[in-house]
Amino acid sequence: MNETSSKLSVKTDKDKAVAPAAAWHPFEELRREIDRLFDDGNWLKPFRAEFPSFARIGVKLPAVDIVEHDTAFEITVDLPGYDSKDVAVTLRNGSVVIKGEKSEEKQDKARDYYLKERQYGAFERSFAVPETVDTAKVDAAFKNGVLTVTLPKSEAARAPEQKVEVKAA
């Protein structure tokens, strides 16, 4: 049996043209990729996080999870050390705004010294509410340092999918 073989050309690194090192700008590439990520915006849908302009470097914002269920969206915020009286949830201009402020004082008095420690802080997180939410039925519950905001979907948004037949033209 005669076997015919065909040779394939193999390219090596020597065959590639090498650009000068000065032409490669890794920070410019990184900047373009980050700009593309933020311009695209798909990673924030259906909610768009809005950070207040007064947020400073070093201010810690609480961790937030946003989950979509069949009947509602659910925002869960970890707020260890906060009480329900320290937290406020409001609906404003198509956004749900979660605010919190904590102040705690500890005093230590002894014969030779006086020590006073204060821990305090405030935060504000704002999320755009999708048009499919029934804002009249928004609910918030606080338990064991976890705030849960439930944004129920409107009846129209909960309607089952409708299959549309595709016809050949």
The mean pLDDT value for 152-163 works out to 82
Name the more confident of 149 and 108: 149
Q: Which residue has the tokens 């050390």?
A: 81
Distance separating alpha carbons of residues 121 and 101, to the nearest angstrom: 6
Instruction: Encode pLDDT of 2-56 as tens digits.
Output: 555 545 444 444 555 555 555 667 788 888 877 777 665 555 555 555 444 434 4
Instruction: Encode pLDDT of 80-126 as tens digits.
Output: 888 899 899 999 988 999 999 887 666 677 677 777 666 677 889 99
Q: Which domains are delineated in the chain?
A: 48-158 (2.60.40.790)
Q: What is the pLDDT confidence band of residue 72, given thresholds at 50, 70 and 90?
A: very high
